Chain A
Amino acid sequence: MAEIKSVIGTQNKKGQTYTDTWKMMNEAPRTPSFYTGSEVIKEAIRRASCDVMIAYPITPQSEAAALIGELFAEGYIGDYFRGESEFAVMSQCAGAAFGGARVFTTTAGPGTMRAMENFPMWAGARLPIQMIVTCRGINSPLSIQPDTLEIAYLLNTGMLVWHAETAQDFFDWILKGYIVSEEPDVHLPLALCCDGFFVTHTKDVVNLTPADMCLPPYDPYRSPVPCMDMECPPVRMMRDPFVMKSNYISYATHASWQQEIWAAIERSRKHSIHWLNGLIDTENTDADIMIVASGTAVSQGREAIRLLEDEGVRCGLVKVKTLRPWPEEEIREATKNAKHIFVPEFNVTGWLAREIKATIPNHERVHAGPHVCGGMTMPPEIIVSEIKTALGMKSFSLAGRGS
């Protein structure tokens, strides 16, 4: 039996100390820093003990992807290069993860869509790749503006999907995300989403962990499937490849493996609750009116609640942090007193409202809106207006809305 040594307390080649992640995230001193979201991604990856990052330019993630190139030049990342398209990049990420590396990449909008074939493959191959998705429009005519429609397509890929509200979420969740997705009973890729521009291109005060502390390295031999590095026996996988067989054993194998992926998402629940302090955050859950949102719609919802308070209307808030695993029980519990549930979203179809409607009893309580899309901002006033209109209260007309 090989001797098992902990790397905690030892240093990497950059002089950073591999630190117990719980201590690093929860006990180490934090330094307030004024950074853009893109810079925050760089700072998180500086501390993430990443082996390979693969980049491709697409607005609004290009800056973050290029900044991580600077980290590579400084020696913080094992390897880094620009791929030829998002489809290729996500396959290159898969190759690196098959080879036992901790892998990071970023994409956005049309890039997410172009790469889509890879995502169920990542999940099926149990590759714990982390991908930042800085959401933007995917419609035609061409748009580069914030829009979260692409998240709807990620929800059924078998990936973990988290939706950050702020740059602080981003910093913490990038690091915690690796820990959750690399758990042997999870071992799935993570799509860590944010609303492009609103988070990536604005500056905010973010409390950073010490730059001389970093995550313990990824151990590919804790994976539930063999790492493809010829360091363990290359046993024949099966007598007949399942791909071409039209028989029950073949179907049952594929079916059970798909079920296992979704069971692994379920098993990530306990780790996500532990690290994120719950899958949702709540305020005023005893209120008659609740806003349930994810991403920057949460921030706008919070402002709307403040405006409504000025008018004597009490309103609560649910911030949904993880979309996969889906916090079904938590949302049911948090909305059990609500008579009206409003779901503000930055997309045209209202995928979050649909998920919520499918989750809670008496779903006629759900008002799917307000929606903005195509890059429109969501002033808190339109949330206020939506709520007041639904409640039969008099609402002053908003400029340009024609009513």
Chain B
Amino acid sequence: MSKERIQISEALYDIMPSDYQDLVKSATYGKEDRGWKDIGTSKELIEQHSLCAGCPESMAFRYILASLPNPEDTVMVGSTGCTSLVFPMVAVHNIHSLFGNQNAIASGLKRALSVRFPDRVKDVVVLAGDGATVDIGLDMTLQAWFRQEKFTTICFDNELYANTGGQESGLMQKGFVAKMAPVGKLFDKVRLPEIARESGCHYVVNCTVSKPSLVEKVIRNAVHIAREIGPTYLQLYTPCILEIGKNSMEGLQEMRDSEKPTERFAYKEYVSEPAKQLLTELAAKDKERKAAAKQLAGQASA
């Protein structure tokens, strides 16, 4: 999409909703170095949402949307759950169809976009909860990776079924007492990051969303690698403060506590060899671009 596509006819400008006017005026579509630092100074690609106050998922959503390298040509795929309450307020095209089929939808979508726009970049990013990714949709999650489908899969891991009221999920910790796990969960948290690596993902990260700069980095890497090489997987801890008995302001601390080196969300990363090479190339290009910009700025001030 070129930015001209979202322009408003002058005659109709004043009757368009203010959030749309803001999108036209100050969203960051097409901005090459867009990132989390744009939050607060430009229009975000997410409007008001109906998540609980203080929900870490809402922070994750904002960081991710600020960090997508190419939102003007990105289509997102969601699934049923708390994320599906947010997607209607997101200013990139997004698809909700059924519960758990997100990686199948994304497979068809990415292929259709490749057939229709062979000479253009169209990124596809899946964003779904842990129930959708690991339980009901595991088959389609893995099969998309086996087939080397070129899109990014993001799992918001809150370690339970949040939207239906806190039932046991495959990514829940062993021993946690929850609905449908009345005597505590009897088996270990599914090790999807490791499975992702073995299933052919070229970039796998397991972390929390406590640091926006880190989220920005892994999102950019994941989207670029998926675009050029093959599937990528991010598992982001977005605790459900409601269901683990925390208050609105305690989400951030919960994430910080869980990312300590001995904890289950300590930063873990896997990068395949071709992906490493791509990241090196991208970093070199980035450096070149920054140097050129600096030189240009120097000339201008001279």
Contact = CB atoms under 8 A, between A and B. Distances in A.
B180 interface: no
A238 B87 CA distance: 10
A78 B67 CA distance: 32
Interface stretch (A83-91, A175-183, A308-316, A325-333): A83-91
Given A84-B139, A96-B111, A101-B116, A125 B97 contact: yes
B1 A231 contact: yes
- Name the residue in A92, A239, A243 with the highest tally of chain B Cβ atoms < 10 Å from its Cβ: A92
B28 interface: no
B109 A91 contact: no
B122 interface: yes
Interface string B137-180: 00110010001000000000000000000000000000000000
B20 A235 contact: yes
Given A52-B111, A91-B108, A121-B98, A229 B116 contact: yes
B88 A94 contact: no
Nearest to A244: B85
A230 interface: yes
Interface in B77-108: 77, 84-85, 87-95, 97-98, 101, 104-108
Main secondary structure of the interface of B (DSSP, over half): helix
B219 interface: no
A236 B105 contact: no
Contact of A88 (B17, B75, B139): B139
Give the bracket for the number of chain A residues in contact with chain B.
35 or more
Nearest to A79: B111
B112 interface: yes
Given A88-B139, A125-B97, A230-B75, A95 B50 contact: no
A166 interface: no
Interface of A: 51-52, 54, 78-79, 81, 83-85, 87-89, 91-101, 103, 117-118, 121, 125, 226, 228-241, 243-244
25 contacts: A51-B115, A51-B116, A52-B108, A78-B112, A79-B112, A84-B139, A84-B140, A88-B140, A94-B101, A95-B105, A101-B112, A118-B97, A226-B93, A228-B109, A229-B75, A229-B93, A230-B72, A231-B1, A234-B1, A236-B19, A236-B47, A238-B88, A239-B48, A241-B87, A241-B88
